[in-house]
Amino acid sequence: MVDFPKAGEPVPVEMFHVSKCNVRYNVVFGLTEKDKNLEENLKYNRIKLPMHARPEEGTYGIYIGKGRLEARGKYTTHFIVGEEVLFFDISEEEARIASFIENNDYLKKTMNPLTYAENLNMIASKSGGIRATARRLGISASGVSEYLTMLEGLSSKKMREAFRKYNIPYKGKSSSDSHSMLGIAKMKLGKDKLDDLAEVLMNDGVQALYNKIDSMVTGKKRGLPKGVFLAIRVTWNQKNKFERKYKETIGKAAKNEGLTEDKYVKMFLIDHIKEIEKDAEQKD
């Protein structure tokens, strides 16, 4: 049994750190408006919702309350036990699960769907299954089931790694949409076929992956009607770090705009051409 400080005692700030059990351990604090508002609020006020800490190598790791620690820690010398921080003698695994549950809404919106599914799988294995996990997280059992189905169907490590790097949606127009992680998982392809698809995605991009998937589903190669559309193909060399960075930046920008990469690039080019035409008119 660990002897913790008694309720009401002040514990120096330097005795606390962000635990690696905290699911937001690698998330930089202070970049969002929510972070800035929290810090502004805690400049002169104590923490109202206590942080959760566990003993770690002679100090205390905060596994729930990272933002509170980093926001308030700049403006105080100590935290009050029982008011600002609570101590628990729990394992790393229990701390990770508690942190995941606490941050579930945030994680579902920001975490890669595969990473989110892996965490759900860990909780389900310790919580007694899908329904128990759903109750703990306050989400539907069918939602948990779909994430675990995706995890099971994507048995290829290479495919998972490729999906983490590209803007492939978790779900498409339906749960069986083959242009999504879940839809591809439901195709129940073997590891070898998934490895082949991963190669297509990594070497030729998202559209090439979709074309390959379509040919597997329909037996026909997907393409544009002749004489209707004009297409410009852009390829990126994945082995060139600069081109890879540009490609990743386009993916993030497209996601922020709620567009596919193709539509984002088209919109960007049209806006650029308009600027060129505008400058040309002004010079005339």
What is the enclosing helix (H) or strand (E) of 239? none
Averaged confidence pLDDT in the chain: 88
- Region 172-184: mean pLDDT is 90
Residues 197-206 pLDDT 10s: 999 999 888 9
Q: Which residue has the higher pLDDT, 280 or 116?
A: 116
| pLDDT exceeds 80 at position 209 | yes
**Per-residue pLDDT band at 179 (split at 50, 70, 90):** very high
Q: What is the reported pLDDT for 229? A: 61
Q: 60 — phi, psi (to 5°)? A: -125, 125
**The one-letter amino acid at 259:** L
List every span in the chain annotated with CATH 3.90.1530: 1-96
Burial 266-282, CB ≥16 within 10 A → b, else e: eeeeeeeeeeeeeeeee
- From residue 115, give the alpha-carbon distance in Å to each of 63, 67, 108, 119, 150: 18, 21, 10, 6, 11
Q: What is the reported pLDDT for 17? A: 97
Classify residue 40 by its DSSP letter: H
Shortest CA distance to 100 belongs to which of 73, 82, 118? 118
The DSSP result for 186-234, as a single string, is HTT--HHHHHHHHHHHHHH-HHHHHHHHHHHHHSS---PPTTT------
- Give the residues across from 129 on adjacent strands: none
Per cent of the chain over pLDDT 70 is: 95
Residues 27-45 pLDDT 10s: 889 888 989 999 999 999 9
| pLDDT exceeds 70 at position 227 | no
Was domain 1-96 assigned CATH 3.90.1530? yes
Contacts 24+ apart (CB under 8 A), 29-37: 29/66, 29/67, 29/70, 29/71, 30/70, 35/67, 35/71
Q: Give the separation between CA 254 and CA 243, rounded to whole angstroms.
A: 17
| pLDDT exceeds 70 at position 220 | no
Residues 143-161 pLDDT 10s: 999 999 999 999 999 999 9
- Region 254-267: mean pLDDT is 80
**Per-residue pLDDT band at 226 (split at 50, 70, 90):** low
Kindly report which listed range (2-16, 170-184, 263-277) carries the lowest average pLDDT score. 263-277
SS3 percent helix, strand, coil of the chain, rounded to 5, is 55, 10, 35
**In whole angstroms, how large is the CA radius of gyration of the chain?**
24
